[in-house]
Structure 1
Amino acid sequence: VDRMKAGERFNGRLAQSGDPLLVADASEDPRLTRAVVRKERLQAQLIVPLISKGKVVGTLCAAMRRPRQFHSEEIELLTAIGNQIGVSIENAHLYEQERLIAEQLRVSEKNYRELFENASDAIWVHDPEGNILAVNKACEKLTGYSREELSSMKAFGMLSERGLDIVREMERKLLNGESLDHPFEVELINKGGAEAIIELQTTLVTTGGQPTGFQHTARDVTEQRRMQENLRFYVQQITRAQEEERKRIACELHDDTAQALVALSRQLDSFISSDEHLPMQQITFLEELRQQANSILEGVRRFSQDLRPSVLDDLGLLPALEWLTSELRTQYGVLAEIKVLGAPRRLPPEAELVLFRIAQEALRNVWKHAQASRAVVTVEFGDSKMGIEVSDDGKGFKVPPRVGDLTSEGKLGLVGMLERARLLGGSLVVQSDLGKGTTVAVEAPI
């Protein structure tokens, strides 16, 4: 029959009430609205609901072309049959839903398996004991082991000792409900014994809310790290060459240019003193020349010191930093001080030079750009690392979100400091806000 709303016709009224309906003569009943019943000359009808979970899901009708009185046993029997049919309909719906869900799961699992197998990154899954449960093609390629070989191995056997410690710490954090904000770099040992550097991401695998294993996704970054190391080596060589050239120019300025200016100044002084018959106008002119020579001499000495301060080579980093702060006070009127934390000690000459250049550039920014009245240099010596922090009360600036943006914004000095820090295997952090000053902090292992 066509669909009908609750309350329409015999079946619709029964669906609304939920009670069995007896019709003595359907063809003469005023509640009838369907012409087919009259056409078929149907008379006696017994209609019972099909009920499932307390709801009417349909109706079951027994009709005859003659008058008939239905007994209570017949009503009960047909009602029971209707209830069974209602349950069967509900079961059929449930079965269809389960079939659709199962099909969706099958498709989803198939898609995941394809993504898993064809991923460019190596992926492996292991249980809490380290037994490898699943690997993809990229994992076979990265490790050099076949799928069968990996399935009989412990996952930890592929990692270096340092890498194993890192992975265990990552897994411990995941089991404690902590999140891993970024991937970690570890060393992986392939079948041939070669070491590869991988960028590793780890996720916890759970079943029913309980941890059942870990999934690791690894990306081989060996070539990238080698290129970075080569680039760092080239930068180191260029920096060393620059410093050697700075040192050579500083020596030439001190030994040649400065000495020549000293000699010129003394000659002018001697000439003025020895000739008593010089007109006053010429004496004044020669005095101005001598003052200009002395001024140029001071500039050459200062420039020579900036290029390569002898105090750094002779006495070390701390006296060189004290000289920098002294120059900041006397030359530019910035109230600068130095604080030392920890036990001071000498560092390798190259390390002292790199840290000095970073501090020198930071203090140059203080008087050149920050418009600051006060600056503090804090030097901290630790057991295995050293830090230098330069802070000021200047106008500050907006720090770009990415280091690469420093170059495009013309902050080449900060880029140079960052590259120098990386030469030592250290890090550089710049914090600044408009109107709140700037802090440059470098930290390096020693």
Structure 2
Amino acid sequence: MSLFWRIFVLNAVVLGTATALLLWAPVTVSVPVLLTEAVILLGGLAVMLVANAVLLRLGLAPLDRLTRLMTTVDLLRPGQRLPASGGGEVAELIRTFNAMLERLEHERATSSARALLAQEAERRRIAQELHDEVGQTMTAILLGLKRAADEAPEGLRHQLCEVQEITRESLDEVRHLVRRLRPGVLDDLGLVSALTSLTEDFATHTGLRVVRRFATDLPALAPETELVLYRVAQESLTNAARHADAERVTVGLRHDDGSVVLTVVDDGCGITVPREGAGIRGMRERALLAGGRLEISAAPRTGTQVQLTAPAPGRQP
């Protein structure tokens, strides 16, 4: 039944019931209207309006649910659907909206994957140029400064040593930037070694205590999945250092029911406002790239917990 005929029938039932009561009920209307007659008529009108409102509310409830979903749907949280049963225009509208959501989620995942892969390729290119061009140039400068310092008089030698130390620190920063842009250890030694290097470097630069809990029965993962897990861990550690005011961060990696689960838990101030910046949305896009699921919640003892569940080989996302 179409929406028009549904509303028409509901109103016809209410009005027909009211007419039948007026025809067969022992009620008359005097001129002028008596107080009791006015009370009966107004009461009947109130009952008719309430019944009509209730029936319309029940009939239009699916549209209200659809409206709420349309205003809150997030393509980075796939799977939000409304049940559509039966026929009629409302059910067909819900089915059409669900199909549209599925297409949009697929297109968003595809476009995000292309963008992230292009971003990683650009990072790899920049890291390679920094390593080959800037790194080698600064190394040559260090060698030249050392030779100049060895041959310079005592007063100038001290100044050259200071410049040499500044150049060495800059070279270390360039190497650190290269590792952040493209972790070579991830390609050479795998995810666990890359996360170990990442957490050690993070603890050295921030002074936070990092606890690692990596399982030994992890399955082999696709390079894209390993990169997603690494980038989510990297962003989570960065957020913990910048915003959490934490003292300890725990990074865990385990194999659970055909999936690999990454958890990053800090003991900081926790989630106070449900806001998501570019970093968190970037992590959600990466999770979609790996066919995984990202959950951000309060940790058991205050703080924040970031958990990424990515499918392992042999399991469909």
What letter is aligned with 1:337?
Answer: V
What letter is aligned with 1:328?
Answer: F
Alignment of 1:280-295 (within 5 A): 280-295=154-169
1:281-323: per-residue Cα shift (whole Å, max 9, x none)? 2111111111111111000000000101100111121111111
| Counterpart Cα distance in 2 of 1:376 and 1:116 | 51
- Contact in 2 for aligned 1:338/1:377 (Cα 8 Å): yes
Map of 1:256 onto structure 2? 133
1:134-176: per-residue Cα shift (whole Å, max 9, x none)? xxxxxxxxxxxxxxxxxxxxxxxxxxxxxxxxxxxxxxxxxxx
Q: Quick check: 1:230 aligned with 2:107?
A: yes
Find 1:279's aligned residue among 150, 153, 156.
Answer: 153
Q: Would you say how many aligned residue pairs link Structure 1 and Structure 2?
A: 249
Q: SS at the partner of 2:115?
A: helix
1:96 CA displacement: 4.9
1:224 CA displacement: 2.5
| Counterpart Cα distance in 1 of 2:91 and 2:177 | 54
1:360-406: per-residue Cα shift (whole Å, max 9, x none)? 00011122222222111111112421211100112223141xxxx42
Going from structure 1 to structure 2, the CA distance change for 1:120 and 1:291 (only over 3 Å counts) comes to closer
- Contact in 2 for aligned 1:316/1:346 (Cα 8 Å): no
Which aligned segments of 4 or more residues in structure 1 are displaced greater than 6 angstroms?
none
What letter is aligned with 1:232?
Answer: A
| Counterpart Cα distance in 2 of 1:300 and 1:290 | 15
Map of 2:191 onto structure 1? 317
- Contact in 1 for aligned 2:224/2:290 (Cα 8 Å): no
Map of 1:354 onto structure 2? 228
**Residue segments in structure 2 that go unaligned for 5+ positions in a row:** 1-23, 27-43, 65-78, 313-317
Q: Quick check: 1:241 aligned with 2:118?
A: yes
| Counterpart Cα distance in 2 of 1:319 and 1:232 | 29
| Counterpart Cα distance in 1 of 2:216 and 2:149 | 56
- Contact in 2 for aligned 1:399/1:431 (Cα 8 Å): no
Going from structure 1 to structure 2, the CA distance change for 1:223 and 1:201 (only over 3 Å counts) comes to closer
Map of 2:175 onto structure 1? 301
Q: Quick check: 1:369 aligned with 2:246?
A: no
Q: SS at the partner of 1:425?
A: coil
- Contact in 2 for aligned 1:202/1:217 (Cα 8 Å): yes
- Contact in 2 for aligned 1:342/1:382 (Cα 8 Å): no
1:342 CA displacement: 6.3
Find 1:390's aligned residue among 245, 264, 269.
Answer: 264
Map of 1:267 onto structure 2? 144
Going from structure 1 to structure 2, the CA distance change for 1:299 and 1:120 (only over 3 Å counts) comes to closer
More helix by share: 2
Q: Quick check: 1:345 aligned with 2:219?
A: yes
Map of 2:279 onto structure 1? 413
- Contact in 1 for aligned 2:138/2:167 (Cα 8 Å): yes
Alignment of 1:421-436 (within 5 A): 421-432=287-298, 436=302
| Counterpart Cα distance in 1 of 2:185 and 2:288 | 25
Q: SS at the partner of 2:282?
A: helix
| Counterpart Cα distance in 2 of 1:272 and 1:443 | 55
Map of 2:254 onto structure 1? 380
Map of 2:35 onto structure 1? none
Q: SS at the partner of 1:396?
A: coil
Alignment of 1:126-165 (within 5 A): none
Please tell me the root mean square deviation across aligned C-alpha atoms, in Å: 3.4
Q: Quick check: 1:441 aligned with 2:301?
A: no
What TM-score results when the alignment is normalised by the length of structure 1?
0.50
1:444 CA displacement: 2.0
| Counterpart Cα distance in 2 of 1:444 and 1:344 | 12
What letter is aligned with 1:422?
Answer: L
Q: Quick check: 1:200 aligned with 2:83?
A: yes
- Contact in 1 for aligned 2:195/2:230 (Cα 8 Å): yes
1:199 CA displacement: 3.6
Q: SS at the partner of 1:200?
A: coil
Q: SS at the partner of 1:441?
A: strand
| Counterpart Cα distance in 2 of 1:394 and 1:116 | 48
Going from structure 1 to structure 2, the CA distance change for 1:112 and 1:306 (only over 3 Å counts) comes to same
**Residue segments in structure 1 that go unaligned for 5+ positions in a row:** 1-94, 122-183, 186-197, 204-215
- Contact in 2 for aligned 1:250/1:308 (Cα 8 Å): yes
1:201 CA displacement: 5.2
1:279 CA displacement: 2.9
More strand by share: 1
| Counterpart Cα distance in 1 of 2:208 and 2:226 | 24
1:424 CA displacement: 2.1
Q: SS at the partner of 1:372?
A: coil
What letter is aligned with 2:254?
Answer: E
